[in-house]
Amino acid sequence: MYGELVRKRRQAAVRAAFIRSWNAYKEHAWMQDELKPISGGSKTTFGGWGATLVDSLDALWMMDLRDDFEEAVDAVTQIDFRPEGELNMFETTIRYLGGLLSAYDLTDCKDGRLLEKAIELGDMIYASFDTPNRMPITRWSSIKAAQAAEQTAARNGIIAEMASFSLEFTRLSQLTGDMRYYDAVKRVTSVLSEQQNRTKLPGLWPVGIDVKTPNLMKDNYFSLGAMSDSAYEYLGKTYQLLRGAGDAIQYKKMYERAMDAVVQHLLFRPMTPDNADILVPTQARANSPATVKQDHTLQHLVCFVGGMFALGGRLFQNSTHVDIGRKVTDACVWAYGNAPNGIMPENLEMTPCPSLSGCKYIKPANERHPGFLSVSDARYNLRPEAIESVFYMYRITGDTSYQDVAWEMFQAIDSQTRTPYANAALKDVMRDDGVKEDSMESFWLAETLKYFYLVFSEPGVLSLDEWVFNTEAHPFRLVS
């Protein structure tokens, strides 16, 4: 009984923080991309279509804010998705298309207006695949399209932007019966699969790629973090969305190849004062499997990897992957708990142990903070990746200690990022001055607060047996 009261009280606190930020957005930045949470202004960051509005739809529904949801849907139907200038197709797909599909799924596919807008946007994104080799243009120009000028995929692209359409386009095909969208990503998946074992680190694709050729084998920098993340995240999740049928087996094979390489080449155990049993996924340069040089950094962005391993372990009955997921999640939890103010910075460097089995702590002479050798980027941008993995670990293992961890994280974040309007990014979490940036990205509402809310929900709410989340935390319904 006590535990249930605590859970509900914590969930109510998260919901209150969401309502506060949402109301500020409504009052000061309605229909704009983002609220400026210090000055009370607004800014355009993703096409000017109301990124926070669309990104927040499903969270409004989940938190039972039905009047706000209906008002938001009415507003979304007024958005003119005709683009002006150049569009980031990756962000357009995960935030806007993902948000529309999720809201449609959550409302039992009853509001056709949401699907109409999803098709309108999906067709625009589909146009970015209209290239000589059918590989997507990741920076698409509406002006060139209007002039019927040929646009080609980038010679200098990044893997996440090429390989992160599969969930959204597969779900759009499932909902509409129009297989064009699925066929578009299937062509990309074939290229990914065909070249996966021919890169300088077989099993992994480098961050930098030539989409135009396409050649995914030239670069020697490998990461699961910035510019790579969702390319790997979507392998197991697309298998899940396809319910393991048909082409799903290709995604399973790609996931297993990639994770085998991650385990072999991209994990290290850091030296910590408490000899914590944790694993950090890092970046590396490699011209072959024999020449891997890790950089021993921990990016906040890479904290999603714990959840990815745990979900993959559950999907493919691999208990080792669930255990790795726990250790990676615990590394990010450790970084939060041991940071001076209880919030992990954007990017830190740690001292590696010689092996994954741990080592005695010997304080490095130039260590910035116990366990943190250096901090190359001390900001906190209201990011969700750590709480995302905490959510997955709680749901997959049932370990309620992750709810306690989540509460500590939430209290630290909310208290230090709060402004008179909403919540703002922090400039330096290693200092006590609490200086903020006038920024509140849409993922604060769409992801960070949503995952906090779901950690304190009943496990049956958006069960991972019935829903799969895209990389912007938008849940898509799993259908037979």
Give the span between the Cα atoms of 117 and 32, in whole angstroms.
17
Give the span between the Cα atoms of 362 and 371, in whole angstroms.
10
Give the strand order in the sheet containing 347-349.
297-299, 347-349, 374-377
Query: Active site includes 91?
Result: yes
Query: Active site includes 274?
Result: no
State phi, psi for 451 to the nearest 5 degrees: -65, -40
Cα-to-chain-centroid distance, residue 171: 18
- Among the listed residues 33, 91, 161, 349, the single catalytic one is 91
Query: Active site includes 233?
Result: no
Cα-to-chain-centroid distance, residue 424: 19
- Among the listed residues 385, 388, 447, 472, the single catalytic one is 385
Give the span between the Cα atoms of 434 and 426, in whole angstroms.
7
Give the span between the Cα atoms of 428 and 344, in whole angstroms.
10
- Among the listed residues 229, 330, 441, 447, the single catalytic one is 229
In contact, 216 and 161? CB cutoff 8 Å:
no
In contact, 206 and 258? CB cutoff 8 Å:
no
Give the span between the Cα atoms of 222 and 65, in whole angstroms.
42
Cα-to-chain-centroid distance, residue 166: 14
Residues 165, 92, 284, 235: what is their CA dihedral angle, to the nearest 10 degrees? -20
Q: Which amino acid is at 136?
A: P
- Residue 152, annotated as binding a ligand: no
Closest CA to 315 of 197, 209, 233: 233
- Among the listed residues 346, 388, 441, 447, the single catalytic one is 346
Give the span between the Cα atoms of 420 and 329, in whole angstroms.
32
Query: Active site includes 150?
Result: no
**363 contact partners, CB below 8 Å, separation of at least 6:** 370
The number of residues in the chain equals: 480
**52 contact partners, CB below 8 Å, separation of at least 6:** 25, 29, 32, 33, 34, 35, 442, 445, 446
Instruction: Provide the greatest CA pair distance for the chain.
Output: 65
Give the span between the Cα atoms of 61 and 376, in whole angstroms.
38
Give the residue numbers annotated as catalytic, written as ranges.
Answer: 91, 229, 346, 385
Residue ranges for the binding site for Ca(2+)? 471
Residue ranges for the binding site? 471
